[in-house]
Each structure stands twice: as C-alpha cells, then as structure tokens.
Amino acid sequence: MEEKVQIPEQPKRRRWLLWAAILAGAAFLVIVASGVTYAVRVTRAAPPLDLARLSQLSQITTVVDREGRPLGLLMTDGSREPISSLAEVSPDLVHGVIAVEDKDFYHHPGVDIQAIFRALWQNIRGQQIVSGASTLTQQTVKLVFFPDQARTLTRKIQEALLAIELERKLSKDEILTTYLNWAYFGQVGTMNVYGAEQAAHTFFGVNAKDLNLAEAAMLAALPNNPSLFSPYSHFSAARERQSLVLSRMLEQHYINEEQYRQALAFDIQKALRPISQHSAAKYPYILDEVQDDAASLLVQRGLAPDLDKAKELLATGGFRIETTIDRDLQDRVNEAVSGQSYRPDIGYSALLNGRPTPIKNAMEQVGAAVVNNSDGSILAVYGGRDYNRDQIDHARLPRQPGSTMKPIGVYGPAVDRGLIGSGSGVDDVPTSWPGYRPNNFDNRFHGMMTVREALVQSYNIPALQVFSRLGPGVGMEYLKKLGITTLTPDDAVISAGIGGLSKGLTVEEATNAFTVFPNQGSVHPVHLITKIVDRDGRTVYQHANQTTQVFSPAASYILTDMLRDVVRRGTGSAVGRRFPSMAVAGKTGTTDDDRDSWFIGFTPDVTIGVWVGYNYPFPLHPVPGVSPRDERPRAVQVFADILQRARGGPWLHTASFPSAPSDVVRVSVCNKSGELPTAFCRAAGTVVSELFVKGTEPKTACDVHVRAAYTVIDGKKYRATTATPPDEIRWGIFIQRKAHPPGPAPTDAGLEVPSTPDPRGGEVLPLGGGDTPQPTPSEGQSAPGTNSGNGNGQQEQNGGTPGHPPVTTPGAGNE
C-alpha cells in the first residue's frame, strides 16, 4: 500500500507572506504615488509667492485741512494705515503677539513640525480641522494669499509650503511687520478695523508706537477671535484674553512682575475710545465732497476709467488729499448754523417722478459756504443738519436763487455793458412779456426810481426791464464766465432774471460768483482740493490757480457800492444793524411762497453764502409765535451769525473795499428819471449822487419832473384852467409818465400831474407857465449810495402872484 506524502505547511505560508508583501508594497507604492501626486497637485494649485502682494494693502485715504490737520478718512472694509517697520509699533505689541500666537517665531523655518503633528492627531480624533498649528508666518500667508480663510487639509499644506518659501525670501521682522499690517482686529461701530496702526487709533486714539503695555496686550488678544474678544461687546472675555497675553509675556520674560501687575491694574475700559466716536465722521459732508471732487480729478488724469472705479481707488489707495478747508473756521460755521432755532419737522407732499409723494418729518435744512476771495478756495462748507438723517449735500444741491441772481446775472452785466449806472432810471409799473406777467414780492408797484433803489429794495419789475434790455442770453453767458455749471439752454428766458432757472444754483457756485465784486471784476474757479499725493509720495494733482476777468473793475466797484446799501438800509439791513462799521455788502433772495431763503454777502476778504429751505420746494411755514416779517430774513440771520464767529479768525483783516477806479464818475441825477437834474428836480428834492462808468453817465436833462398849475376841490387835485379863480391856483412840481400800462397804479401815482381838468371848465393852463421855480438850497456832496433828497417833501402854499407862483411838491410816494 502506497504511503501518502504530506506537503509541509511552511512553504505555503511563505508564499502567502510573499504575496502579502507584494500587495503591501504595491499598496505602499500606490499610497506614495497618490501622496506624491496629491502633493504635486496641491503644490501646483497654491498661488505663487508674489512678494508684491504683501504691499498691496487696502490703505486708508487721509483728508486734511489747509494746515495739515485731519478732517477724516476715505476707506472701505479692509482699509489700513500701514507701518513700514517694527520701529513704528510699540515693542509691547510685538512681544504680546509673539507670546500668545507663536512663541518660537524667531526659531522655526516657517512651520512648527512638532505643533503640526500635535494638531494632526487632534484633527484625526475630532474628524475635522480643530487645530491649525499655524505659525505667524503661516497666518501671514493666509491673510495675504488666502483671504477666504478656508480651513481644509489642502489649504493647510499650501500655507505651510508658502510659509517655508516666505521665510527664505524675507527676514523675521519683515514677516512680522506684514502680519501686523494685515491682521484683522474686529468691527467697531460700522467700521472693520485692519492693521495695528488703525487698531491703535480706533481703540485708543493713539499711534501704534505709543501704546502702553495694557493697551498693547488688549490689541494682541484680538486677532485670535476678534468678535469674541471685542472689548466693546464682550469686555469680560476681552479682559480674560488680555490677562492671558500678559501672563505669556511674563512667562517668556518680555515683562517683569511689576510691569505685569501694573498692566493688570490699568483701567483699560476707561482708555477705550467711546464707540459713538466711530459711528460717523465729524465732517461727513466735506468728506463726501472731497470724494466726489477727487474722483473726478483722478479720472481726468487717467488714473481711473470712470468715477466708480476712482471712488473705489480713493477708498483703498492710501492717498493724502490736502483741502482748502480751515478746520477752525469750519468748526465756527458748524456752531453758527447748528445754534439756530429751527422750525419743527413737518410733513408735506412733493412731486416725485410725476406723482405726489408724502414726505414725513422733513427737516428745515441749511446749505452754506465760505469762500476765500483771493483764490476761490472753500474755507468752510455746511452741507446740512444731521447727516445720519439726511445725506443730501445742500451746499451742492441746485435751488432757485431768487433775487441773488440780480447782481450777477442782471445789474452787473448791464453796468459792465454800459447800459446802466447805479443812478439810471427805471419805472416799477405793471409790465408783461409774452406768456409772463411777473409781480413784486409785496404785490405792489413802486413807480419811478433808480437802479440802486430797485436793487436795494429787491423789486422784480425793474430788474426784468433791465434784463430785457441786456438780453437773457447775454446774462447767462456772464453766469457761465462766473463759474456757474448748472445752467441749461432753456435758461435764456426773461424769468431767469429773477432766479427762474431750470435747475437753479448751488450755494458753493453762487457764493464764488459773488467774489467777482470784491475782486475788482475777476473770479477764480471755486475749489476744495489743493493737492493729491499717492501712497508712494508722488503728487498726482496740484491745483493751479486761474483768473477770469468777467466784469470791469469799474462795474464791480459800482455793484459793490449798491450792494453795501442793501445791508445798510435794504432787505439785508439786519446785517448792517449788527455790523454798522464793517465793510460788508450782499444780497437777499427768496422764491415764491418763501420756498427758498438766500443771502450771499461779502467782505473784502471772504464771501459767505447761505441757503435755507426743505429738500423739496415747500414753503417755509412761520415759526409759531413769530411774525412772517421777522421770519423772512432767516438766511440773513444765519449769515450774520457766521460772520460774527468768523471775525475772531484770520480771514477778516481788510478794513475797506478797494478804492474807486479812475473811470468811475460820480454824477448828480434825478432819482425819478435817472437823467441830469433840473431846477424842478431840485425843488422836488429828488437829486441824488450816483455812480457811472465814465462815458455812460446821462447827457440829457430830466423830462419827468414838470411844473403845473392845479387846484383842490373837495380834497381832490385838478389841473387848473382859465376858469379857475386865481386865488385858488397852486403851482407844484409833478412827475409825468410817458405811458400808463394797465394794472394797479404804482405807489408814486399821487406825484403825477393831475389828469382831470377843473370841472368848472376853461382851458387847461400850460405846464411851466414860463416861470422858474424858486431857488433851493445847494445839493452838496452825497456819500456813496446815499440820497440827497427823497422826493417826499410836501411844501403846499396857497395863492401867490402870477409872476412868482409858490413851488410845491404834492403827494408822497413810497420809495
């Protein structure tokens, strides 16, 4: 019987182990290959280490006044105030960051291998990324190259690789400087705070190099979890984290026990700036204007393709913008305007997009500007009340200017063209143009007067008569030369002479236009920015002053003299009463139903413009208990308060306006006709001393005043006739109009020659009667702009001999 041979088990086991080894080796090779492939793929997917990105910080643009004092910042989320080295930061902040974030920062090659394995084990156990083991170098890489802050294994590997490479390219101090520029310190109010310098300013109001130990430890505590450790919203947690930073600094010998105790005892909560200081800028309207103007300048210079991109660049580009603002004067203007007693908020309906729309809780608003006459620079600007409620900039919101148009668009151009002088005659009587029948603000007509009186009392009809002679198109061209940019082709119409414009004027441009008068006829472009410097110190814009001669010096002198009378005795007399010895002139302006209230006035040094109204053209209702007459000059009162506060500063130093140019002549004229006075004018007391550009003064004698015989029957005047008893005949000086337009009679109608003859019959006695009026006192020399007679005298005498009848001036007009 054949025996069975048993095969040993060991060779089988060896073959199994061999196959197992082969499979394990293959698996190992697959894993290694996969790892290598994964590592290559991760490495290739990592962004390149572009060192230029380290300096591509979103930097804050700083806005300063004319003396370099800060006005505010233009920024967006991510804006920073970068430091260039650790020397610009408190050593305590540097040491605090290292102590709490990466104690071996100066000893590792960019990654901490021991910490990585520790974190890897924690992440495997937690089955998620619970620990990153990031060094400050890795955190810097993450901040610069991975702003989305994703926490994945792939991202951690990429951070480690780039961190090692970064350590080979930069020194440790350069890496830490970069970290301190890019670190996020949390949200304060509406502002996100980035970078150590901005954080120091925001939290404690100091530069980063001036932080004390307690403050530095508080800031070092924030980047780990800015929202959890915010000292504003979670003070206890912030305080606990600050204590941890200090204890780590003590352990690592950055501070001693005494410094540690003092820092813990420091009242950090008291040192924090109130969060309310971060909710809004102190000069928000100015910052809005600076942003708009600077954006336009950047586009003009090809630094941005459009305004939106320019504004984005301003908010992130780290520019320094030097403005024309005087911060001290600006503060005084703010005080003057905010100190007024305003009407209560109201509700009204405005026509928006063709539909009546209710407006609730509308504020009475103010726009104001102070312009330096010498160069057109804006020294102060007031955009509105309460920026949090109303962001409309009322200094740049076009509104109907009312009678402030008359000096710059009517009388100034007319004097410059030689059409009128201050003593030229106009007749305030009902006048109409095709499709347009205007009225005066008081719904009355005031008869014959000089141009000066028409401007002083702000009568509309005389201004429109002059504007019609000048030509509306000519008036608009003058406004354009004065720097007005809001005009349209539709504005060359007769109503524009009293402010009826398609859009209106802005306070800033209208104020600058008035500088033409104290500037002897020249004007400079109004501007807010003098210089823009980029983050590298290069000047990208420098204002170049320009001068445009718009009026002749003679015309400007005459208008200035007339406008001084506006504040002496006219619609702006509240200013004259308050500043009786000051060289000041100006013009009021109101629109229908007092929807807009204006006053633009000037001294030899500055021009101040004020507008008061609502955002939409709605009447300024009287304040309860205050008469409408007292409420009318609201803009005048604001102007006077600004001028009062400005007097204490450096901008009002010239005592008088320029002297009269050699081609300005002073001529005695009749204040009814504007012509050379006759004996009748002297007898009527209507002779005044007025100003003209040489060659445009009147050449003919007054033919308005006449001498006529009259009688009085039952209290009514009649022309004397041959049937009038001689003892009832009286002789007087009257005015005689060439035409009597239909409509209400002017207030000087009582001075006209009686139109009805003596009802007892007879032939009307001829004018003058061949006799000369009785002599009158010498007219003397009048001061500029003052009348030597007002025509209101009433010397009524009965009887008289036929050869020498007594002279009388019947009636009294309101002039």
State the CB neighbour count (10 A cutoff) for residue 488: 10
Residue 145 has pLDDT above 90, yes or no: no
Element (H, E) at 335: helix 327-338
pLDDT at 318: 86
pLDDT at 274: 85
Burial of residue 722 (CB within 10 Å: 0-12, 13-18, 19+) is: exposed
Encode pLDDT of 627-673 as tens digits: 555 555 789 999 999 999 999 789 999 999 999 999 999 999 999 99
Residue 489's SS3 state is helix
| Top-confidence residue, 768 or 299 | 299
Sign of the C-alpha dihedral computed for residues 491, 493, 499 and 502 taken in this order: negative
Tokens of 672: 């009814």
Task: For residues 523-527, give the mean pLDDT.
Answer: 98
Q: How many residues are given for the chain?
A: 815
3-state SS of 708-765?
Answer: EEEEEECCEEEECECCCCHHHCEEEEEECCCCCCCCCCCCCHHHECCCCECCCCCCEC
Residue 428's SS3 state is strand
Residue 7 has pLDDT above 60, yes or no: no
CB 580 within 8 Å of CB 327:
no
Tokens of 47: 């962004």
Closest CA to 499 of 535, 463, 524, 457: 463
Lowest-pLDDT choice from 449-453, 585-589, 798-802: 798-802
Task: For residues 504-510, give the mean pLDDT.
Answer: 98
Task: For residues 225-243, give the mean pLDDT.
Answer: 93
CA end-to-end span of the chain: 160
pLDDT at 12: 59
Bridge partners (DSSP) listed for residue 447? 428
Tell me the average pLDDT of the chain. Answer: 85
pLDDT at 25: 64
Tokens of 411: 């009388």
CB 268 within 8 Å of CB 242:
yes
Encode pLDDT of 336-374 as tens digits: 999 988 888 888 887 777 787 888 889 999 999 999 999
Q: Which long-range contacts (CB under 8 A, 24 or more apart) does 657-661 make?
A: 657/518, 657/557, 657/560, 657/564, 657/583, 657/585, 657/604, 658/518, 658/520, 658/553, 658/557, 658/604, 660/554, 660/557, 660/691, 661/520, 661/552, 661/553, 661/554, 661/557
pLDDT at 126: 52
Residue 542 has pLDDT above 50, yes or no: yes
DSSP 8-state symbol, 804 = B
Spatial distance between the Cα atoms of 586 and 458, rounded to a whole number of angstroms: 12
- For the CA atoms of 707, 708, 709, 712, the dihedral, rounded to the nearest 10 degrees, stands at -110
Encode pLDDT of 745-767 as tens digits: 999 999 999 999 999 999 999 99
Task: For residues 107-117, give the mean pLDDT.
Answer: 77
Lowest-pLDDT choice from 302-316, 401-415, 571-585: 302-316
Tokens of 242: 């600050």
Residue 790 has pLDDT above 50, yes or no: no
Burial of residue 314 (CB within 10 Å: 0-12, 13-18, 19+) is: buried
3-state SS of 91-151?
Answer: HHHHHHHHHHHCCCCCCCCCCCHHHHHHHHHHHHHHCCCCCCCCCHHHHHHHHHHCCCCCC
DSSP 8-state symbol, 411 = I
pLDDT at 151: 58
Residue ranges of alpha helices (H) inside 621-728 are: 628-631, 634-646, 679-684
Spatial distance between the Cα atoms of 567 and 581, rounded to a whole number of angstroms: 12
Residue 399's SS3 state is strand
State the CB neighbour count (10 A cutoff) for residue 153: 12
Encode pLDDT of 425-437 as tens digits: 999 999 999 999 9
Question: Within the chain, how many helices (H) and strands (E) appear?
Answer: 25, 23
Closest CA to 187 of 77, 59, 100: 77
Residue 349's SS3 state is strand
Parallel, antiparallel, or unpaired: how do β-strands 355-362 and 346-352 relate?
Answer: antiparallel
Encode pLDDT of 449-470 as tens digits: 999 999 999 999 999 999 999 9
Task: For residues 462-483, give the mean pLDDT.
Answer: 98
Encode pLDDT of 260-305 as tens digits: 999 999 999 999 998 766 555 789 999 999 999 999 999 999 999 9
